[in-house]
Amino acid sequence: MGKKVLTAGTFDIIHAGHVRLLIEAKKLAGPDGELVVIIARDENVKKYKGHPPIFTESERLFMMQNLKPVDRAVLGDSRDPISAIEREKPDIIVLGYDQWPTEEWLSKELEKRGLK
């Protein structure tokens, strides 16, 4: 039986590193699993990166929905980045090497909410 794998990010100007991450995440899901990608909202990109994204959240969502490894892509919550994890209940969460939130921050936040 496959796993539900979740990853999230801005994905503004998709590049080879993003595609490699998605391919590896899909491998973790297995042939019967599901890769779910959460796309950061425009307002969160502005807030955390200090500038608006080049592509709108709708454009970034459309691009992600049409990449081969991705089974489902959805927009994140602008107020609570953990709500997508609560909603999706993934078996595995995949983070990029330079991604926020960090593994440490995310582990603490999930533990606070009883999601470990």
Residue-wise pLDDT for 102-113, tens only, equals 788 888 888 888
Q: In the prediction, which pLDDT does 115 show?
A: 78
Residue 116 above 80 pLDDT? no
Q: In the prediction, which pLDDT does 51 show?
A: 95
For the chain, give every domain's residue range: 4-32+39-112
Using alpha carbons, select from 22, 13, 12 the residue that is nearest to residue 96.
22
Q: Cβ contacts of residue 9 below 8 Å, gap of 6+?
A: 18, 37, 38, 39, 40, 96, 99
CA dist., res. 55 & res. 42, Å (int): 9
Residue 101 above 90 pLDDT? no
Residue 22 above 80 pLDDT? yes
Q: Which fold has domain 4-32+39-112?
A: Rossmann fold (3.40.50)
pTM (two decimals): 0.90
Which residues have a catalytic role annotated? Answer: 47, 49
pLDDT in tens, 35-92: 999 999 999 999 989 999 999 999 999 999 999 999 999 999 988 878 999 999 999 9
Q: In the prediction, which pLDDT does 81 show?
A: 79
Cα 116–chain centre separation = 18
> Is the distance from CB of 56 to CB of 42 less than 8 angstroms?
yes
